[in-house]
A and B are shown apart, each in its own frame.
Chain A
Amino acid sequence: MLYRETGQFKTSYSADQAIFPIFQDKIFILVWLVIAFVAVPLIASEYWFQVILIPFLVFSLATLGLNILVGYCGQISLGTGAFMAVGAFSAYKIATNVPDLNIVFVILLSGLITAGVGILFGLPSLRIKGFYLAVATLAAQFFLIWVFNKFGWFVNYSPSGSIAIPPMKIFGVIVTSAKADPVARYFLALCFTVVLALLAKNLVRGPTGRSWMAIRDMDIAAEIIGIKPLATKLKAFAVSSFYIGIAGALFFSAWLGTAESDAFDINLSFDVLFMVIIGGLGSIAGSFLGAAFIVLLPILLSNIFVGELGFAVLTAKHIETMFFGGLIIFFLAVEPHGLARLWQITKEKLRIWPFPH
């Protein structure tokens, strides 16, 4: 009864193409934005910012990026961790070498650098497909981490091998490093995430998104109708890496404040891939759902198993690993479009509620 489209007729193509054509959806998103920008900063504790909210935003961005490559364009990648590292280390080098540059530009530049690296490692995708491409991205993953490990230049020759973000300001407010207020760091991540999500949504709805999906669904047919495969795939790699690089830069500067190359290993690549699968391949909203799920789940599990049931921490970790694996299989078998599709089905049911059919 609440979620009806009755009376909402579109009289122009532009109204039909809007992101949220149904009025109730517009309200829904506005409510969330108000919560994110106004309510949360007022009531969330530091624990919430550090452990839940900021990582949720960072991983949402990374998942968005990977979803563009895997979910929209159908090119599998296991190199997400390494590309986040590229973003993080770029941010570090730029911030320390050009101290007057605003953090926003530092992060954007890091994204661009990562996009360049992504294009480079995406070149093989013209000749290689499927899990062969996965192996090529593994080459990127292992090679890049090795590079960051071995060459001291990347860490400014620090003996600890780790990088730390210097405090940087926007409009006089410190937004990075331990000196910054968690709320400030939260806003930094939030603004990037909201803007980039909107840009992504526009991009995938338009010609570029359609060319990606065509390549994904049947790349031979796509070429036959005039889509240039290499250009399209490289665009996917570029945009995807841009997002992942920014996620990496924020991972480093807004969330942790420090980082070392081992934090960006293959496990991180798997984590983000799982977020994409569980959230829903080829869905912008799904990327957020998947990231939320995987950020929150370990906390939930450890609260239950360690907190309530008294299992050892290690056992809880094993259970968590098994649970993730099982969840992946479950989602792929039952609902390959993930939580996003489940959400859509809920909305469909809402449209006819309270009637059963």
Chain B
Amino acid sequence: MSAVENARQTHSEVLLDVDGISLSFGGVKAIRGVSFNIMKGEIRAIIGPNGAGKTSMLNVINGFYHPQEGKITYKGETRRRMRSHVAARQGIARTFQNVALFTGMSTLDNLMTGRLLKMREGILQQTVDMLLQAVYLGPAKRHEMNERKYVEEIIDFLEIEAIRKVPVGRLPYGLQKRVELGRAIAMEPDLLLLDEPMAGMNLEEKGDMSRFIIDLNDQYGTTIALIEHDMGVVMDLSDRVLVLNYGEKIADGTPAEVSANQDVIDAYLGVS
């Protein structure tokens, strides 16, 4: 299903609502009063020139940066600040521009870390779980096998069987990005934030990545927000596009609307 057909599907439920967010570091204002929303099940692109505040916006959404003003409503709950591990447990996963994988571990282990947020909380439960893991009997062993099976499906989906046991530090950049995507998927997120997932990839790799993103959205219903510079990808993949410039929103609409918007052309797209 192409994005065009996707768009005909009405996305009517708001998953994330961003309201009047402002973020500054010392004297630098990275985001100024930006408001937008993301519908459940859509693919939302965020574009704009470098330094526009796109990555900062993602960081605010998943709780890594805390905004000075504004609020965020996610799955009906409104808050301004949230610790990032809480955001993760509530179903927000993301990838990074500079690939934040655990370089000391293999591909398989990295993907398995994505499952760690499923671990039981509570001091007593955690102690019991640790003891069971140490002895590797019964529930601990079953749990490990289940996680392994789940992660192997992701490995199949992303076609990375060959590099299962390779320490990720040794992988080429394109494959690292794929593994990072896998780790995010392993978290079973409701909202997946991708920061330039195609950066540094050739045409073939971009095709693969696009396919994965579309399949995730189609088959698993994952809502996806992605920062992307390749306008071809943005036009093909996304349902709606948000345009930022110097920390402010300058356009918000379908890919067709946005690419025709004069402000956007002036600030970012240029004339083709």
Contacts and interface: CB of A to CB of B under 8 A. Distances in A.
B135 A199 contact: yes
A282 B136 CA distance: 20
Given A17-B148, A217-B105, A203 B130 contact: yes
B47 to A, nearest CB: 23
B133 A282 contact: no
B62 A210 contact: no
Nearest to B105: A213
B105 A203 contact: no
B144 A224 contact: no
Contact of A282 (B87, B104, B143): B104
Interface string B122-164: 0000100110011110001101110111001000000000000
Contacts of A218: 100-103
Say whether chain B's binding surface is mostly helix, strand, loop, or mixed: helix
A191 interface: no
B251 interface: no
Interface in B203-220: none
Interface stretch (B9-17, B23-31, B107-115, B171-179): B107-115
Nearest to A200: B134
Given A213-B104, A217-B104, A224 B85 contact: yes
Contacts, number: 108
A211 B64 CA distance: 19
Contacts of A222: 102, 113
B166 to A, nearest CB: 14
Interface residues of B, number: 45
Contacts of B135: 199, 202
A226 B152 CA distance: 20
Interface stretch (B88-96, B242-250, B256-264): B88-96
A194 to B, nearest CB: 14
Interface string A98-130: 000000000000000000000000000000000
B119 interface: yes
Interface string A177-219: 0000000000000000000000110110011101101101110
Given A13-B149, A226-B116, 19 more contacts: A207-B112, A207-B147, A208-B129, A210-B109, A211-B119, A213-B105, A213-B109, A214-B105, A217-B103, A218-B101, A221-B100, A222-B102, A223-B85, A223-B88, A225-B114, A226-B85, A226-B187, A229-B85, A235-B130
Interface of A: 13-14, 17, 199-200, 202-203, 206-208, 210-211, 213-214, 216-218, 220-229, 231, 235, 239, 282
